[in-house]
Copies of this chain bind each other. A is one copy, B any other.
Amino acid sequence: MNAPLKKFADVAVLPQPYLLFLGDIAEPSYAKTAFGLADWAPERCVGEFSIGENGITVGLPQMSPVDAVAAGARSLVIGVANPGGILPESWIGALVEAIEAGLDIVSGLHVRLSGISPLAKAAKRTGRRLVDVRTPPTNIPVGTGRKRSGKRLLTVGTDCAQGKKYTALALHRAFVSLGIDADFRASGQTGIMIAGRGIPMDAVISDFESGAAEILSPDAPADHWDLIEGQGSLFNPSYAAVSLGLLHGSQPDVFVVCHDPTRHAILGVEGFTLPSVEEVIDMTIRLGSLTNPAIRCAGVSLNTSSMEADEASDLISLEERRLGLPVADPIRGGEAFSALVMNCFV
């Protein structure tokens, strides 16, 4: 067995900059990874590469793998998912072309790249790497509960897919713009591509879940902040174990509850009502206080993307009065978001 992983600095960095692969996808909702990278890590992306007729664009320069290598790219990132979650035959030729041009392949798909024979052969022939972002580092240690130095914020949710990654990224951007020394800590595949490094918390063996979270946000100077991307929900019967291990290991000083006000049931299961924001606050404090007794809620991140501006603004004000906490939609920004950011420091 290898030595246990001791520090985040030992977690592999993804080969960068990236060429974003858009495949032959015509439907933008399948390209969330590519849009996320173009929005949040444009400095890590040299261009985009699509192979279809009616392809989408994320607004980067179109580039062949050969041109991308000339522009400095070190890997091709699969920025799209196809409906089945598998890697379609129609993409293989382009991926082999990228490997032969000198790019590593980075994927967050469920299917493992090394199990796809033409890719495995091309990588072996050329010495290029196939990087599955869903594969966690080996030899993650068991969690210790030891209090680490520095400050930590964790985004939590009333359910999965409520804006936890987006909120952590927006808070990170706001913190940095205030001159605060801060890192975004990625816990899921798209977040890891954006950050260039991270740990896919849902793929870690349960015994090591809190240990992985401890590695993810290491000791830091007293005024440094880690903005940690949350996963799942304590109220989701499929994924609460992931959420609890991440909460215990992150030992956040502050958390932000992410919520989509149009959602009323837990996704992907039957018969589970969405918890209220207050229930999430209460449960997060009760469970989180095990590893950080000073844990508190800094506010609520409301996903109002389906609302008109004044409807969203009314709801934000209403929720703010009701909860007695800052409430904001990071996408809309403004004074509400500034108040949420400032409440992290009080």
Contact = CB atoms under 8 A, between A and B. Distances in A.
Interface string A207-239: 101110000000000000000000000110111
A334 interface: no
A272 B145 contact: yes
This protein's copies in its complex: 2
Contacts of A271: 145-146
A108 to B, nearest CB: 14
A17 to B, nearest CB: 30
A209 B237 CA distance: 10
Interface stretch (A6-14, A177-185, A240-248, A338-346): A240-248
A94 interface: no
A210 B143 CA distance: 20
Given A205-B205, A205-B206, A238 B269 contact: no
Interface stretch (A196-204, A295-303, A315-323): A196-204
Contacts of A205: 202-206
Interface in A62-96: none
A245 B143 CA distance: 17
B237 A145 contact: yes
A286 to B, nearest CB: 7
A26 interface: no
A94 B209 CA distance: 37
A237 B144 CA distance: 7
Contact of A145 (B142, B202, B238, B283): B238
A239 B83 CA distance: 35
A249 B240 CA distance: 10
Interface string A297-311: 000000000000000
Contact of A240 (B144, B146, B203, B248): B248
Given A202-B206, A206-B202, A290 B237 contact: yes
Contacts of A111: 1
B210 A241 contact: yes
A286 B207 CA distance: 22
B291 A237 contact: yes
A335 interface: no
A282 B324 CA distance: 27
A53 interface: no
A210 B238 contact: yes
A270 interface: yes
A229 B185 CA distance: 35
A241 B238 contact: no
Interface of A: 1, 111, 142-146, 201-207, 209-211, 234-235, 237-242, 244-245, 248-249, 266, 268-272, 283, 286-287, 290-291
Q: Closest 10 A-B residue pairs measured CB to CB?
A: A145-B237, A241-B245, A209-B241, A202-B207, A143-B238, A241-B241, A206-B242, A145-B269, A244-B244, A142-B238
Given A205-B205, A206-B245, 18 more contacts: A1-B111, A143-B237, A143-B238, A144-B237, A145-B270, A146-B269, A146-B270, A202-B206, A202-B207, A203-B205, A205-B206, A209-B242, A211-B238, A237-B249, A240-B290, A241-B245, A241-B248, A283-B286
